[in-house]
Amino acid sequence: MQFIINLVLARLLTPDDFGLVGMILIIVAVSNILTDGGFGAALIQKHDPNEKDFSTAFYINVITSVLLYIIIYISAPIIAEFLGSTLLVNILRVISVVIVINSLGLVPKVKLRRALAFKQIAIANITAYIISAATAIYLAHQGYGAWGLIAMHIINAVFSNLFISITAHWLPTLTFSTKSLKKLFAFGEYMLISDILSNICFHIQSTLVGKYFSPYTAGQYAQAKKMEEVACITLPSAMNQVLFPLYSRLQHDTDEIRRMLRLNTKMIAYTIFPLMTILIIVAKPLILFLFGSKWMDSVSYFQVLCVGGYFCSLQYFNYQAVAAIGQSRILFYAGLLKSLFLITSILVGVHISMEAVLVAMVLSNVVNYLTNAIIAQRYIKYTLAKQIWDITPILIISLVIGGIVYLISYVWSIHWILLILIYLILYICISYATKSEITMLTIGYLKQIR
């Protein structure tokens, strides 16, 4: 849905509109993490949280969000001046309302996640997104530019948190426990800092690109990044929402966590690796078809980012498995290392060229994956060598077929949709012929359904 709505908005809005909003999303994202305070992960990971725990987390979340909003509102002119655009003052002040709104739904969402009620969460999110997207499209069509995107963020937050709160059937009690606060923060403090660093690194690229190049370049980059994320993060992200509470339930059974982690790693590689490969090949005609000629500068950005997508798709599984067994401290230190590498690389890159920034992003994804894999090797006993052994055959098959399809496109003038079909047919046939584990599992599952 996000992909389809983005297609519509990309034709109605300009790269500058996307660039302006993308430059300040880092402020909202980090503030949302600060509001949560790491309590969400702590409440899920804790074996038996009580109502005092939930209510304490709720009140802290709301108070923190209000304080953060006040700070952002006052400092908006300074932030806008730093980023080089006075237009960002009002934009930042308005969009930051999302921080307060999200704080109201954090604990109800945790309640649903602990109960594995992901269907209810999905229905709430989808409904909210339909309402907010329709509003954004209308405003964009009426010429409101970047304000259409801002309205979408705010309306989506309002309805998503409203629906989740109603579904959870939960209200805070008039209790607050400093004891609960200390226990939750003991685990959550490391997850908090780790998540802050992760979100800074996730959003800082658009901010720095907009500052050192232009909102137009930031918009082109943001569009390329968004497409790459849809391809390589959407499925892993959805799976991780479910896997973290599942891993947490199995936190004392390392063997079972390792078995699940290995299967999930191979499953994602089997799905994402061929997707990244074919997207690199058909990037130009695909973007022209989907977004129009005004987004053609994003083609090369997208192709390079897809290279990093191979590693990006895998990095979060190891992270969630280690977090589930309570090793938040080691994840914090690893986060420091990964964040330092990315931020340093990007700061060097923006002083060289846009291409250098893209290379920094790819290298960062490699470092992130290797770091998380090494941590999983220590605590889950899923060795780095075993992980590489599990995914290498899938990568080789994906790249070999990609080379064949690229040669076909080079020799003959074939429509890009037909190239995708040729790739898929070859990939499925070769996977079946080589008795790929995931292929065999999928076939067995389909037979059971039948």
Q: Are residues 193 and 221 in the same domain?
A: no
Q: Are residues 178 and 250 in the same domain?
A: no
pLDDT at 37: 61
Q: Are residues 115 and 235 in the same domain?
A: no
Distance CA 148, CA 15 (A): 14
From 158, 181, 212, the end of a domain falls on: 212
What residue numbers bound the domain in which 259 lies? 214-450
Q: Are residues 169 and 239 in the same domain?
A: no
Q: Are residues 97 and 3 in the same domain?
A: yes
**190: confidence class by pLDDT, cuts 50, 70, 90:** low
pLDDT, mean of residues 261-278: 89
pLDDT at 448: 59
3-state secondary structure the chain: CHHHHHHHHHHHCCHHHHHHHHHHHHHHHHHHHHHHCCHHHHHHHCCCCCHHHHHHHHHHHHHHHHHHHHHHHHHHHHHHHHHCCCCHHHHHHHHCHHHHHHHHHHHHHHHHHHCCCHHHHHHHHHHHHHHHHHHHHHHHHCCCCHHHHHHHHHHHHHHHHHHHHHHHCCCCCCCCCHHHHHHHHHHHHHHHHHHHHHHHHHHHHHHHHHHHCCHHHHHHHHHHHHHHHHHHCHHHHHHHHHHHHHHHHCCCCHHHHHHHHHHHHHHHHHHHHHHHHHHHHHHHHHHHHHHCHHHCCHHHHHHHHHHHHHHHHHHHHHHHHHHHCCCHHHHHHHHHHHHHHHHHHHHHHHCCCHHHHHHHHHHHHHHHHHHHHHHHHHHCCCCHHHHHHHHHHHHHHHHHHHHHHHHHHHHCCCCHHHHHHHHHHHHHHHHHHCCCHHHHHHHHHHHHHC
Q: Are residues 270 and 348 in the same domain?
A: yes
Q: How many domains does the chain have?
A: 2
Percent of the chain with pLDDT over 90: 25
Q: Are residues 271 and 393 in the same domain?
A: yes
pLDDT, mean of residues 6-22: 81
Q: Are residues 186 and 303 in the same domain?
A: no
Q: Are residues 252 and 332 in the same domain?
A: yes
Q: Are residues 116 and 191 in the same domain?
A: yes
235-265, pLDDT tens digit by residue?
777 777 777 777 777 777 788 888 888 888 8
Give the best-scoring range by mean pLDDT among 165-179, 299-313, 321-335. Answer: 299-313
From 142, 177, 212, the end of a domain falls on: 212
pLDDT at 126: 92
**192: confidence class by pLDDT, cuts 50, 70, 90:** low
Q: Are residues 138 and 246 in the same domain?
A: no
Q: What is the pTM of this model?
A: 0.71
pLDDT at 80 over 70: yes
pLDDT at 257: 83
pLDDT at 72: 87
* Mean pLDDT, all residues of the chain: 84
pLDDT at 113: 84
pLDDT, mean of residues 349-365: 91
127-164, pLDDT tens digit by residue?
999 999 999 999 998 888 889 989 998 999 999 999 99
From 177, 212, 247, the end of a domain falls on: 212
36-48, pLDDT tens digit by residue?
666 777 777 777 7
pLDDT at 35: 64
Q: Are residues 133 and 13 in the same domain?
A: yes
pLDDT at 434 over 80: no
pLDDT, mean of residues 279-303: 90
